[in-house]
């Protein structure tokens, strides 16, 4: 018998750990609510609700197959060792994490299990293509474009429910109760956090939405991106399944050129998830420090008088504010708006990317430290793909570009509901007019803030290159 420990892989289909466990004997499915999992769930009530629904759905699927989830609360290694002892299991199989804290926890668990003479099998399940499969001389890629060139050509493995899969029954093993929403600080249980909903959403998207994905990424009011991120994060959908489906969609000979570009763009998005896993895997220090060594001592600030306004969606920039309110209300924010909102925090306010990442972590359903960190560093200009200068999004120009009639802004910023924001209107001069209602005027002068930031950035780079030249000078 072998324990299969479920973590961020709350499904039975296309499951690498379950397939690896099935090869080793009858499988006892386990979910350990350890401190780090509970802390993440308690930080974000919507995340907790999603998780509670997904855990219950997994248990229900197991019961249909004559098994059930064995729940334990407590430290992971101690709980698993105890369970292995009482059931006579020979070891544990589980899915790897790639962020610094997660991979350190995996290492510790492996050491504890092996010390006790048990098998410890930590497998790659979250990525479609494991980090180690795409490398150069043992190192990972630090830029996305060459990584994507290799990723596109690399086959994706498949782990269908193995024929040999047999679930174990053991009289000495009783389960603790499933996590309740109250225990996790959730306001309710999400009804849509099941593998069935995820599979239906993927199918519907591949049948239709994916062909217009490129425009959906530029239109936050349309809600036309896949909305699969929470399912991919908690593993109610396997990224491999999504990638295989998108690759098949690309093979459709009847696609128009524009539609083909959209499907490719969707594949590129899925590949970014793998890219950030790989970046964290090859650069474990990046959960705390920027990937770019020369940016490690750049003085972002941790505090700003407008930080509270950013968090609560009251900066006076409708796109930024709508995004933050969408995230608070739903646990998800449109991808383009994420970039604008994160850029505003890092560049207009000069606030450290860690702060933004951690604020979003308290609202988001996704629980992907490696992906969140990679994206935040990327936006802040301290991570992968650094061009000479970071891209600073203009939140007003962005608003005119992706939400010209204000449909998205008005959907989330209720103070703007009755304001006419027509396509021909220039939003910037209108904004002070909001003074008459509770919605604030823009909190900063974007152009001046961006200029100041770029000057500081340039000065920092000059100091760095001077110190490199100094140390390279003869006798220096």
Ligand X SMILES: Cc1cc2nc3c(=O)[nH]c(=O)nc-3n(C[C@H](O)[C@H](O)[C@H](O)COP(=O)(O)OP(=O)(O)OC[C@H]3O[C@@H](n4cnc5c(N)ncnc54)[C@H](O)[C@@H]3O)c2cc1C
Nearer of residues 87 and 229 to ligand X, judged by Cβ: 229
User: Nearest distance from residue 453's CB to ligand X, in Å?
Assistant: 17
Contact with ligand X (CB under 6 A): which of 262, 375, 394, 399? 375
Give the count of residues interacting with ligand X (CB under 6 A). Answer: 24
Contact with ligand X (CB under 6 A): which of 368, 402, 410, 439? 368
Nearer of residues 5 and 273 to ligand X, judged by Cβ: 273
Site for ligand X, residues 185 to 224, rule: CB under 6 A: 217
Is residue 379 at the binding interface for ligand X, with CB under 6 A as the rule? yes
Site for ligand X, residues 306 to 365, rule: CB under 6 A: 335, 338-339, 342
User: Nearest distance from residue 290's CB to ligand X, in Å?
Assistant: 14
Site for ligand X, residues 250 to 269, rule: CB under 6 A: 269
Residues 164, 448: Cα–Cα separation, whole Å:
64
Site for ligand X, residues 220 to 249, rule: CB under 6 A: 225-229, 232-233
Nearer of residues 193 and 375 to ligand X, judged by Cβ: 375
Nearer of residues 87 and 326 to ligand X, judged by Cβ: 326
Residues 380, 372: Cα–Cα separation, whole Å:
12
User: Nearest distance from residue 55's CB to ligand X, in Å?
Assistant: 20
Nearer of residues 226 and 238 to ligand X, judged by Cβ: 226
User: Nearest distance from residue 428's CB to ligand X, in Å?
Assistant: 24
Instruction: Give the torsion through C-alpha atoms of 281, 284, 288, 291, to 10 deg.
Output: -80
Stretch of 194-202, 272-280, 391-399, 412-420 contacting ligand X, by CB under 6 A: 272-280
Nearer of residues 70 and 230 to ligand X, judged by Cβ: 230
User: Nearest distance from residue 216's CB to ligand X, in Å?
Assistant: 8
Nearer of residues 62 and 280 to ligand X, judged by Cβ: 280
Contact with ligand X (CB under 6 A): which of 8, 97, 273, 325? 273
User: Nearest distance from residue 401's CB to ligand X, in Å?
Assistant: 16
In DSSP terms, which residues pair with 28 in a beta bridge?
A: 3
Nearer of residues 161 and 359 to ligand X, judged by Cβ: 359
Contact with ligand X (CB under 6 A): which of 30, 126, 372, 402? 372
| φ, ψ dihedrals at 138, nearest 5° | 80, 0
Nearer of residues 112 and 226 to ligand X, judged by Cβ: 226
User: Nearest distance from residue 341's CB to ligand X, in Å?
Assistant: 8
Is residue 103 at the binding interface for ligand X, with CB under 6 A as the rule? no
Q: What angle do CA 78, 80, 82 make, to 5 degrees?
A: 65
User: Nearest distance from residue 387's CB to ligand X, in Å?
Assistant: 16
Site for ligand X, residues 419 to 458, rule: CB under 6 A: none
Site for ligand X, residues 380 to 409, rule: CB under 6 A: none
Which spans of this chain sit near ligand X (rule: CB under 6 A)?
217, 225-229, 232-233, 269-270, 272-273, 276, 335, 338-339, 342, 366, 368, 371-372, 375-376, 379
């Amino acid at each position: 018998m072998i324990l299969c420990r479920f973590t961020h892989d709350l499904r039975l289909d296309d499951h690498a750990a379950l397939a690896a466990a099935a090869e080793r004997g009858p499988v006892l499915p386990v979910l350990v609510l350890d401190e780090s999992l509970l802390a993440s769930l308690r930080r974000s009530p919507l995340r907790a609700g999603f998780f509670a629904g997904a855990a219950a759905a997994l248990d229900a699927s197991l019961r249909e197959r004559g098994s059930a989830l064995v729940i334990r609360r407590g430290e992971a290694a101690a709980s698993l060792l105890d369970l292995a002892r009482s059931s006579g299991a020979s070891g544990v199989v589980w899915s790897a994490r790639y962020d610094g804290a997660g991979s350190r926890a995996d290492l510790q668990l492996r050491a504890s299990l092996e010390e006790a003479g048990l098998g410890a099998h930590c497998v790659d399940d979250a990525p479609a293509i494991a980090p180690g499969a795409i490398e150069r001389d043992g190192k990972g890629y630090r830029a996305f474009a060459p990584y994507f060139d290799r990723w596109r050509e690399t086959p994706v493995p498949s782990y269908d429910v193995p024929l040999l899969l047999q679930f174990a029954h053991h009289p000495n093993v009783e389960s603790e109760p499933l996590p309740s929403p109250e225990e996790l600080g959730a306001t309710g249980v999400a009804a849509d956090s099941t593998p069935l909903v995820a599979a239906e959403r993927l199918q519907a998207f591949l049948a239709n939405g994916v062909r217009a994905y490129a425009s959906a990424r530029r239109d936050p009011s349309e809600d036309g991106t896949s909305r699969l991120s929470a399912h991919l994060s908690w593993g109610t959908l396997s990224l491999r399944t999504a990638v295989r489906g998108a690759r098949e969609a690309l093979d459709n000979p009847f696609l128009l050129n524009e539609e083909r570009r959209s499907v490719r763009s969707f594949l590129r998005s899925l590949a970014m998830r793998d890219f950030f896993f790989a970046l964290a895997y090859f650069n474990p220090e990046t959960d705390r420090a920027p990937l770019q060594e020369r940016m490690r001592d750049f003085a972002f600030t941790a505090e700003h008088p407008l930080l509270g306004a950013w968090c609560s969606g009251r900066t006076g920039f409708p796109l930024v504010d709508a995004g933050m309110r969408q995230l608070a209300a739903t646990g998800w924010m449109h991808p383009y708006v994420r970039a604008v909102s994160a850029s505003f925090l890092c560049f207009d306010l000069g606030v450290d990317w860690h702060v933004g990442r951690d604020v979003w972590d308290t609202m988001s359903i996704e629980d992907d430290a490696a992906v969140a960190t990679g994206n935040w560093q990327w936006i802040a200009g301290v991570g992968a793909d650094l061009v000479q200068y970071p891209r600073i999004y203009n939140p007003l120009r962005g608003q005119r570009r992706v939400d010209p009639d204000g449909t998205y802004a008005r959907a989330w910023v209720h103070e703007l509901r009755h304001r006419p924001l027509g396509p021909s209107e220039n939003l910037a001069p209108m904004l002070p007019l909001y003074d008459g209602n509770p919605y604030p005027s823009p909190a900063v002068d974007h152009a001046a803030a961006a200029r100041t930031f770029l000057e500081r950035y340039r000065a920092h780079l000059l100091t760095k290159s001077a110190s490199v030249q100094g140390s390279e000078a003869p006798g220096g």
